[in-house]
Structure 1
């Protein structure tokens, strides 16, 4: 089954990370089990992927309902793009 997640590229994810680094995120958006690690900073993978998807679609991410359930469906595409995913302690 083809999904739009397949079209997300590394630069979309880096844009999402840059945005989150600048503005932060609400604690309710924190991840429960895993974090994406980039330049020694940790980010919630599902939120990063949602923003990266909105960047790919050129949509406003704040109104985007979501594209992944978390865990493997979220983490694997990010790993395939070269990002580190680590389990939270």
Structure 2
């Protein structure tokens, strides 16, 4: 379950951190990306890192449920989620 106090600002701070350091290979997304600027980020990992700014610890992958929950939360905060298709095509939602 995603803590409901993670804010847009927390997500933006997480995106800044990931722009510098990237995401671990095991935390890469296989289906969805959060589109920000000219880059895509794994939505569940973005929320895990954003929780460090909101609550002081990184969320464990199992705490986030499926990608649908993370995607819906990020959309609610005003972010764009894209679907990765075969051949690196991206569909915007």
TM-score class, shorter = 0.7 to 0.9
Alignment map for 1:1-89 (pairs within 5 Å): 5-59=3-57, 61=58, 64-66=59-61, 67-89=63-85
**Contiguous gaps of at least 5 residues in structure 2:** 86-93
Moved over 4 A (4+): none
Deviations 1:28-70 (A, max 9, x none): 21101100000121000000001111210023x3xx4233123
TM-aligned CA deviation for residue 26 of structure 1: 1.9
> CA contact under 8 A between 1:29 and 1:47: conserved in structure 2?
yes
**Contiguous gaps of at least 5 residues in structure 1:** none
Structure having greater relative contact order (Cα 8 Å, sep ≥ 6) = 1
- TM-score normalized with structure 2 length: 0.81
The count of corresponding residues between Structure 1 and Structure 2 is 84
> CA contact under 8 A between 1:5 and 1:77: conserved in structure 2?
no
